[in-house]
Amino acid sequence: MTKHRILICTFLALTGGLFGGYIGGQTTSMLHKQKCQNHSWSLKVMCQVLVTPGAAWQGSTTGIWLGTVLGAFVGGSITRLER
């Protein structure tokens, strides 16, 4: 049972981390791009090009950490042994 528990927790932690990284990167990128809306078209495009990589990186790392921790917690809660 212990090997299955470890595999389930690891799988949920990794899956949660990947999902959190994707959602975090998309959300942060979208929020940072909104700061570029007050510029003309050409400046807006340049602003978005400059803002997107840093925002995606910041959101992805935060999402990976948060998703991994929450995934491991959920996996541990699901596979908890009753005594």
Higher-confidence residue: 18 or 2?
18
pLDDT tier for residue 82 given thresholds of 50, 70 and 90? low
Number of separate domains in the chain: 1
Q: What is d(CA 21, CA 61) in angstroms, rounded to the nearest whole number?
A: 6
Is 26 within a domain? yes
Distance CA 48, CA 22 (A): 19
Say if residue 14's pLDDT is above 60.
yes
| pLDDT interval class at 1 (50, 70, 90) | low
- Label residue 83 by pLDDT band (50, 70, 90): low
Res. 30 pLDDT band, cuts 50 70 90: very high
SS3 labels along the chain: CHHHHHHHHHHHHHHHHHHHHHHHHHHHHHHHHHHHCCCCHHHHHHHHHHHHHHHHHHHHHHHHHHHHHHHHHHHHHHCCCCC
Q: Is 83 contained in some domain?
A: no
Q: Looking at residue 31, what is its pLDDT?
A: 92
Range of 47's domain?
A: 2-78
